[in-house]
Amino acid sequence: MFSQRVLSIKQSPIRKFAPIRDKVTAQGINVIPLNIGQPDIKTPSVFFDAIKAIDPQNVIAYTESRGTDDILDAFSKYYKSHNADFEPEDFIITNGGSEALSYVFATLCDNEDEILVFSPYYANYNTIARLNEGKIVPILTKRENNFRIPPKNEIEKHITNKTKAILVTNPNNPTGLVLRKDEMQTIVDIAEKHNLYIISDEVYREFVYDGAEFISFMNFPNAVDRLIIVDSVSKRYSACGLRIGCIASKNKQLTDHIMKLCQARLCVPYVEQIGAAALINAGNQNIKQTVEEYRKRRDTVVSELKKIEGVECQTPEGAFYFIIKLPVKNAEEFTRWILEEFSYNNETILLCPASEFYAQNGKGADEVRISYCISQDELRRAMKILSEGLKKYKETIAG
């Protein structure tokens, strides 16, 4: 009755506990969300001003499949301000970063062609790959080594005649890793040697802390012709529901093929493009304030976690996620238990089990991903709930 493709796809580990959360909330218990990267910082007012300024007498017509001139120009100016020389014609506007990835995979992959990804990685890559006949090939990194990428020879062991690209998330979701220049050079050298594309997911490019430096693959001249950047306004402008992203590439043959897919879905919504262009053109002042706020939130949650017996964590360099080790055997069972069976001061927490970010069986079984894009006060309360919950869970298991 159903395709093998859809039957092979698992539920998102980020959203799978939503039905239990809804049940618990209906019982009057407040659930603090540590599972999802939904910022609580207000979307800048320029977005709403731009929407209000639309002439109500206009017809909301189809836009060009590539995107409106305004948003293409806005992205071009933004990237040039970050030393990436993209012209408006180098961009394709998409319905969020997820559609951008889907179109890239569809353009590159046939019959389980392979995309290399450093594991743990954003779990939805699996779904997007399966929908487009691709296959994610995970390359393991380790929490004890701050999830740094392995040496060149270890990466090359995973390359086959079906390998089409290396997909990199920088800064990383779920680990918080920010790639160093030497690591990026390793990836560029491998891609050049084996004639692979580099897919660079740069959704969190601004979110770096403590002097860590974000470097784009656009800074490597011998990578430019094989580079595909995927981006989104969701996190940068606290506008996740806007669903505006883009593909940026200097490879015109590639983008011409992607445009066939864009034409099949006609266009991205006009009104959203107007608002997104206004956000991008407004500049980086709000972003700088947001990054500083996230740094404070990160410091708060790391400080509180270090007080909890048995918890192991490293301080993330970027994005607003990281993976921690819990003193439990099965983090998924604990996630369900603390959400459904435990509360403290009439509150509980929703965690995100880390095992499905790994793809290797058995890895991450005692780990969870934490998102720290909620307020410092909520994070402090959440860490107290986690601490008390772990104590109670140990008693329950021992009993």
Task: Tell me phi and psi for residue 305, to 5 degrees.
Answer: -65, -35
SS3 assignment, position 168:
strand
Q: What is the pLDDT of residues 302-326, one digit of tens each?
A: 999 999 999 999 999 999 999 999 9
User: Above 80 in pLDDT, residue 361?
Assistant: no
Domains of the chain, start order: 4-42+286-398 (3.90.1150.10), 45-281 (3.40.640.10)
CA distance 328 to 325: 8
What is the overall mean pLDDT for the chain? 95
pLDDT for residue 142 is more than 80: yes
The owner of tokens 């001139």 is: 69
Check whether the bond before 316 is cis (ω within 30° of 0): no
pLDDT for 57: 82
241/253 Cα distance (integer angstroms): 31
pLDDT digits (tens, 9 = 90+) for 85-130: 999 999 999 999 999 999 999 999 999 999 999 999 999 999 999 9
Neighbours of 131 (CB within 10 A): 14
Q: In Å, how far from its chain's centre is CA 182?
A: 23
Question: Looking at the predicted structure, is the pLDDT value of residue 162 above 70?
Answer: yes
Model pLDDT, residue 7: 85
Which pLDDT tens digit goes with each residue over 24-62? 999 999 999 999 999 999 999 999 999 999 998 889 999
